Amino acid sequence: MLKSVFVPIHRAGWPFIAVFALCAAVLAYVSQPLGWLGALLTAWCVYFFRDPDRVTPTRDDLVISPADGVVQLIDQAAPPAELDMGVEARTRVCVFMNVFDVHVNRNPCGGTIAKLAYRPGKFLNASLDKASEDNERQSVRLTLRDGRDIAYVQIAGLVARRILCWAREGDAVRAGERFGMIRFGSRVDVYLPSGVTPLVAVGQRSIAGETVLADLRGQEPARDGEIR
């Protein structure tokens, strides 16, 4: 029970929380109603930077969601050119994070970081399809244990102004491990290997480090979903 209430806060959030708390104290000195508003915003900042543990499926060949949020789009697209993965279209799964989601991102698979590429850009609404091409982004190319490659891309959003990526080229990583964060609201795209079908549907909510996006050995057809 206590773990569900007192969720760990990521260290990257403490400077922001301190600033929010200081502003709240100043507002409270000026006016009590403004102080309550500042306290509410400080509580939201604490909530935003929460970093709960997740139970990650450990079977090889599973692709796990790298982000909390809603599966906004599933389509066919070529990975970012800067990753040198060719121009052939792959299945892309886009997970959109709003400002109330956990924003710590996790590796979708185990393997070796083959390439990292940062590209500056615009700050359009991350829910727009063209955000994948026009917005600031941090792209990761991961070589799986069977030699195939997968790509995942952190994309800044309308109010996101900072992409954090702690991965390094050559790192050996495991599925579900933390690799970065985006502040404050954004999306993460996953480009699956050729021929792999996603196991999620548009509109479905995913949990970083837990929700299975795809099975690299699976033979299931693409899934549809509906609100019930």
Which residues participate in catalysis according to the annotation? 186
CB 138 within 8 A of CB 118: yes
CA 202 vs. chain centroid, Å, equals: 16
What percent helix, strand, coil does the chain show, rounded to 5?
A: 20, 35, 45
CB 109 within 8 A of CB 74: no
Query: What is the C-alpha to C-alpha distance for residues 112 and 149, in angstroms, rounded to an integer?
Result: 10
User: Please, what's the b/e burial string for 145-166 (b: 16 or more CB within 10 A of its CB; e: otherwise)?
Assistant: eeebbbbbbbbbbbebeebbbe
